[in-house]
Amino acid sequence: MKKLVICLFSVLIFSSYIMAQQNSANISFDKEVHDFGKIKEDGGKVEYEFSFVNTGSSPLIITNVKASCGCTSPTWTEKPVMPGQKGFVKAVFNPVRRPGNFNKSIFVESNSEKGRNILRITGEVLPREKTVADYYPKTMGDLRLETNHMAFVKVYSNQIKTDTLKIVNTSDSKMRIALVNVPDYVKLTPVPEVLKAGEEGYIIGVYDGSKANDWGFVTSRVYIKMNDKYDNKNSLTISAKIEEDFSQLTEQELLNAPKIIFEEKTFNFGETDYGKKVEHTFNFKNEGKRDLNIRKIRSTCGCTTVAPEKTTIKPGESSSFKVIFNPGSRTGKQKKSIYVISNDPKKSNERLMIAGNVKEK
* Higher per-residue pLDDT: 72 or 154: 154
Residues 170 and 115 in one domain: no
Domain stops at, among 243, 262, 296: 243
Looking at the structure of the chain, the number of domains it has is 3
User: What is the spatial distance between Cα 260 and Cα 292, in angstroms, rounded to a whole number?
Assistant: 7
Is 266 found in the same domain as 209? no
298 and 210 part of one domain: no
Q: Would residue 85 count as lying in a domain?
A: yes
- Do 268 and 239 lie in one domain? The reply is no
Q: Give residue 7's pLDDT band: very low, low, confident or very high (50, 70, 90).
A: very low
332-352 pLDDT tens trace = 999 999 999 999 999 999 999
User: Cβ contacts of residue 103 below 8 Å, gap of 6+?
Assistant: 120, 121, 122
Does any domain span residue 5?
no
Number of other residues whose CB lies within 10 A of the CB of residue 49: 13
Whether residue 136 sits in one domain with residue 235:
yes
**Do 139 and 208 sit in the same domain of this protein?**
yes
140 and 122, same structural domain? no
In tens, the pLDDT along 29-70 reads 999 999 999 999 999 999 999 999 999 999 999 999 999 887
User: Distance between CA atoms of 23 and 112, rounded to whole angstroms?
Assistant: 11
Asked if residue 13 belongs to a domain, the reply is: no
CA gap 313, 22 in Å, rounded: 88
- Asked if residue 322 belongs to a domain, the reply is yes
In whole angstroms, give the CA distance from residue 221 to residue 229.
17
Q: Which of 108, 126, 144 is where one domain is finished?
A: 126
Tens digits of residue pLDDT in 155-195: 999 999 999 999 999 999 999 999 999 999 999 999 999 99
* Cα→Cα distances 214→242, 260, 338, Å: 7, 20, 16
Indicate if 109 and 140 belong to the same structural domain: no
Q: What is the CATH number of the domain that holds 222?
A: 2.60.40.10
Among 128, 134, 129, residue whose Cα is nearest residue 146: 134
The pLDDT, as a whole number, for residue 23 is 62
Q: Indicate whether 317 and 232 sit together in one domain.
A: no
Same-domain check for residues 182 and 257: no
Domain of 230, in residue numbers: 132-243
**Phi, psi angles (nearest 5°) of residue 169:** -90, 110
pTM of the model: 0.71
Phi-psi region of 340 (alpha: psi -120 to 50; beta: other; left: phi over 0): beta
Shared-domain flag, residues 310 and 349: yes
